[in-house]
Amino acid sequence: MKLIENPFLGVGLNDVSLAEIPMPSVDATAPRKLLERCPAAGPTPLVALGSFAGAGSVFVKDERDRMGLGSFKALGAAYVIACEAAAGRAAGQTFVCASAGNHGLSVAAGAQAFKAKAVIYLSRTVPEAFAERLRARGAEVRRVDGSYEESMGAAAKAAVVEGFKLLSDSSWPGYTEYPFRLMEGYLAMAAEAAEAMAEPPTHIFLQAGVGGLAAACAAYFRKVWGDGPKIIVVEPEAAPALKDCIAAGKFVTAAGPESCMGRLDCKEASLIALNGLARDASAFMTITEEESVAALPLLADVGLQTTPSGGAGLAGLMGLAPLGPEARVLCIVSEGPEG
């Protein structure tokens, strides 16, 4: 475990590459209104664990059955496609993306619901069982014999060559509209968690890949709870995309081997997420492969079976020195055990 405090807290990065990049949305009203119209929607539980991992009380937002899709990602891409449908731009359209897991499922579900099509690029490390789940929702699956970053490049090329709409959960210069909206969808989860907490937490642990979940939640939690909570962003040691940017004081690309935390194994941060987290996160930490896996039996013992990616926030809590009996901790289990 490695942790660095954020020297840019409350200010953000002064990086020219971020000058035209928006901050994350903090308006949960629009996604919640759309959710009210969805038969599969409903708030996910906030599980109270009591004293756990050296903290006085731990609360877990359990996203393992969000809208029947198995992860918080159900709130993202499907919300973007719903917004496109409301504007008359979804039916007959083909949305394309790369996915390490649940983002693709959200694209497929949104396309299926709004009479659109989905093409999903998967890297070699994504299990075939997940590809079958995508096909069951009507998506066309295309394999890339390479890394997640290479599957992102293939999806972007297909968008240009074949006239598809690229729906990425990351953002970069010139590509911010869809990822901004996608992160706004995650605010429904953050709002539910805030409303279910009787008192503000003292600590919040948020796992991050490209950073969309962490940045959306951090921005919203700062809006409702101010400077009180310490917000810690947790990444794989093999993919410290956000931590490396904060250490460098500018956008950089991380390097490392493939991680067992597949949904978090991202070497380049989303610029919207980096922009927000540089302002809102108190600290950034990494966890090893062994630390992520070691947390899983303890989570299963309390009824929170998940994957190394889904439990990474709690693994971060477990990796620190005990926070003590006064600590009230909020974490997210972001996906079910199937990933």
- Average pLDDT on 94-116 reads 93
| Measured distance CA(131)–CA(141) in Å, rounded | 7
Angle 120-123-128 (CA atoms, 0-180°, nearest 5)?
75
pLDDT higher at 339 or 229: 229
Question: Token pair 């066309």 is at which residue?
Answer: 140
| Measured distance CA(294)–CA(303) in Å, rounded | 16
With a cut of 90, say whether residue 209 has pLDDT above it. Answer: yes
Strand residue runs (E) in 225-323: 230-236, 283-287
Residue pair 44/66 in contact by the 8 Å Cβ criterion: yes
Q: Which strands form 140-144's sheet, in the order they lie side by side?
A: 140-144, 117-123, 94-99, 165-166
> Residue 98 has what pLDDT?
95
| Measured distance CA(261)–CA(236) in Å, rounded | 7
Model confidence band, residue 160 (pLDDT cutoffs 50, 70, 90) = very high
SS3 161: helix
Question: Token pair 């999806």 is at which residue?
Answer: 155
- Average pLDDT on 6-31 reads 94
Which pTM does this prediction carry?
0.95
SS3 232: strand
Model confidence band, residue 35 (pLDDT cutoffs 50, 70, 90) = confident
Query: Tens of pLDDT along 53-98?
Result: 999 999 999 999 999 899 999 999 999 999 999 999 999 999 999 9
SS3 205: strand
Find all residues with CB under 8 Å of 147, minimum gap 6, and list them: 123, 125, 258
> Residue 38 has what pLDDT?
74
| Measured distance CA(241)–CA(54) in Å, rounded | 28
| Measured distance CA(125)–CA(150) in Å, rounded | 12
| Measured distance CA(207)–CA(285) in Å, rounded | 9
